[in-house]
Amino acid sequence: MSFKETARETAFDAISSKSSALKKGYFKDDMMHLVSKPHPQSKDPMINRGTWFRIELFQQFCTKFLEIPNSQILVLGAGLDTLFYRLNVTNLFYEVDLPEICQTKAHKLGFTKQSDESYVMPNHPNYKLVSADLEDDFFGKLGIDQALPTLVISDVVLSYLESDSTVELVEKLGNYFSDLTLLFFEMINPHDAFGDTMIYNMSLRNVFMPTFAEIGYLENYQRQMKNIGCQTFKQNAWTCYNKWPGRSEIEKLEWLDEYEQFQLIMEHYGVMAGSNKSGINVLTTIFEGIGQIQ
């Protein structure tokens, strides 16, 4: 398999972690059973807790952002995730992923083919799923309004792109949308012992993460966002998790033995957000008490 094909397969890993956390009651989702295996495997409690945080982060941030009038969301590398249904909104919502993943998602969720490259949902006219490679020029395929307040999210996706592609993509987003907000959850700190192990373990499955390995640091993401005129927030996922509302409630769901291992994993994921306009208030509200907006 090529590197792109193995990166594509991680969509199934992500949904299997999400389904495990769902099964244990970490969050609610009425649609995920349609995209996951019938009997999802139970994951380690630390994976479930980390997944809960990922779900909460995107759900709360998106919900707050969508309060901005006429706002829209663009999801990069959406995989099989069912975030759109969890948000339960009517705003414009675009998802992009590689063609095979879009085809699978469309089939499982009953979307209709609109063209060779896009799918729509019969009952949600504002939703569109677009087949595209994020490393190509894909904005034209979206048919998206450049002037509306736009939130672009990446939930462990940029890490798999060539580092030049990630830098170029952030730059292009900054040029394309006049009112832009970004929220990225990505792997960070590649060059310590645990980072090396992450890279090695994934390489055993022929999965490569050039952006993570070459530029996967909070400061690099922040610099890119600042370069396109954003005010920014950056923090490792461990710090965010420990200050996130609701954490003590979900920690009652399962006993966790390997606390140090959990901390180590979470210190290798980062939350990076930025906005050049309407979303600045969202950053301030969501990350209040967790870190500075700079």
Q: Which two tokens stand for residue 281?
A: 């208030």
Of 30 and 288, the one with the shorter C-beta distance to ligand SAM is 30
Give the Cβ contact number of residue 110 at 10 Å. Answer: 11
Nearest alpha carbon to residue 36 among 14, 51, 52, 5: 14
- Residue 97 contacts ligand SAM per CB under 6 A: yes
| Segment lying near ligand SAM (by CB under 6 A), choices 94-102, 120-128, 247-255, 285-293 | 94-102
Q: Is 294 exposed, middle or buried (0-12, 13-18, 19+ CB in 10 A)?
A: exposed
Query: Does the annotation list 133 as a binding residue?
Result: yes
8 A C-beta contact, residue 234 and residue 182: no
User: Judged by CB under 6 A, does residue 81 bind ligand SAM?
Assistant: yes
The correct pick among 16, 59, 60, 133 for binding ligand SAM (CB under 6 A) is: 133
Q: How far apart are CA 49 and CA 41, in angstroms?
A: 15
Closer of 171 and 257 to ligand SAM (Cβ): 171
Residue 79 binds to ligand SAM (criterion: CB under 6 A): yes
Of positions 57, 68, 101, 286, contacts ligand SAM by CB under 6 A = 101
Q: How far is the CB of 265 from ligand SAM (least distance, A)?
A: 15
The Cβ of residue 168 has, within 10 Å, a number of other Cβ atoms equal to: 14
Kindly tell me which of 111 and 160 has the beta carbon lying closer to ligand SAM. 160
Distance in Å, CB of 139 to ligand SAM, minimum = 13
* Residue whose Cβ sits closest to ligand SAM: 79
Percent helix, percent strand, percent coil in the chain, to nearest 5: 45, 20, 35
Q: How many CB atoms lie within 10 A of CB 41?
A: 10
Give residues 140-199 in contact with ligand SAM (rule: CB under 6 A): 155-157, 160-161
130 is a site residue for ligand SAM (CB under 6 A):
no
Beta bridge partners of 75: 95, 153
Taking each helix axis as running N to C, give the angle between helix 3-23 and helix 99-109, from 0 to 180 degrees, rounded to the nearest 10. 30
Q: Which residues bind ligand SAM (CB under 6 A)?
A: 7-8, 10-11, 14-15, 77-79, 81, 97-98, 101, 133-135, 155-157, 160-161
